[in-house]
Homo-oligomer: A and B are copies of this chain.
Amino acid sequence: MNGRSALRLAKLQEALASGGTLHLRDAAELCDVSEMTIRRDLTTQDTAISLLGGRLVMANYPGVTPIYDLTEQQASHYQAKYRLCQRALAYIEEGDTLFIDCGSTLMPLLSQLSHFRELTVVTYALNVANAVAALPNVRLVLLGGLFYATSQSFGSDNMTAAIERLGINKALISAAGVDLERGVSCFHFHEVAPKQAAIATAMQCLLVVDASKFSVIRPAYFAALDDFDVVVTDEEGAPQLLKENGRVVPEIVVPSVTVA
């Protein structure tokens, strides 16, 4: 290693600290060395900076795009999710006040909300908030508290009271497990209060889950299946699965597999 190299990287890191990119040629000029030297600094030394298309960007830096490639699988997985949300979208109307649950299931829905004139979204998830914050037509209410990184969501002891004060119209709930006997469950206990409060206040409750969640039980049970008005899912078999044993289950919507 090399002291001068480390100094150069520190300088560049400072310049990039609050975002933005710096062209390799400018970085070289800034440090008064050749482009090749900067290149070598980046490959030789251990740094938070990546070179992407001739530009230096912060990688693996808090809150900043990590530079890694999405695999094709990962990318195509979004397609399935996208279809699921497309169906849930049919239930959303102009002017609604929506409760959006945490997790990744409902994320594809959010960008679609830009097509409405005016909506309100209530959430306790950071990733949901970020997506909604970018939409000028959607009023965002974030329920704060202590941050739980695993679910990218917040928990607090007055979550229930905070939710009950809001005029939530429709609740879109996701889950990690759905079982006819035991009901609907998730991984984290701090999610129970907001989910239950939302289900209690909302006029209409939608459970949005892909079929892999059926017949699965997770640690934190939060609702019975018939607390929901609609179950939106993505596989043909799911309705039968739910209806067997002669049980009454809510309306089930399965997006047709043939989507353009």
Q: Which residues of A contact B (CB under 8 A)?
A: 7, 10-11, 13-23, 26-27, 29-30, 48, 52-55, 57-58, 61-70, 72, 74-76, 78-79, 81-82, 104, 107-108, 110-112, 114, 124, 126-127, 129-136, 139-147, 149, 152, 154, 162, 260
Q: How far is the CA of A68 from the CA of B22 in the complex (A)?
A: 8
Interface centre among A65, A132, A152, A162 (most CB of B within 10 A): A65
A22 CB to nearest chain B CB (Å): 5
Sample of 18 more A-B contacts, CB < 8 Å, known A16-B70, A17-B127, A30-B76: A14-B108, A14-B111, A18-B104, A26-B70, A27-B75, A30-B72, A55-B69, A62-B130, A62-B131, A63-B110, A63-B133, A65-B65, A124-B144, A126-B133, A133-B152, A140-B147, A141-B144, A141-B145
**CB–CB A69/B130 < 8 A:** no
Given contacts A10-B112, A143-B144, contact A18 B78 (CB under 8 A): yes
Residues of B within 8 A of A17 (CB): 78, 82, 107-108, 111, 127, 131
Q: How far is the CA of A114 from the CA of B7 in the complex (A)?
A: 12
**CB–CB A22/B134 < 8 A:** no
Q: How far is the CA of A163 from the CA of B24 in the complex (A)?
A: 42
Residues of B within 8 A of A68 (CB): 20-21
**CB–CB B61/A130 < 8 A:** yes
List 23 contacting pairs A-B, 8 Å CB cutoff, sorted by A: A13-B111, A14-B78, A14-B81, A14-B107, A15-B79, A16-B70, A18-B107, A18-B127, A19-B65, A20-B65, A21-B65, A23-B69, A27-B75, A30-B75, A52-B57, A53-B54, A55-B69, A58-B65, A61-B130, A62-B110, A63-B130, A63-B134, A141-B146
Q: How far is the CA of A139 from the CA of B148 in the complex (A)?
A: 9
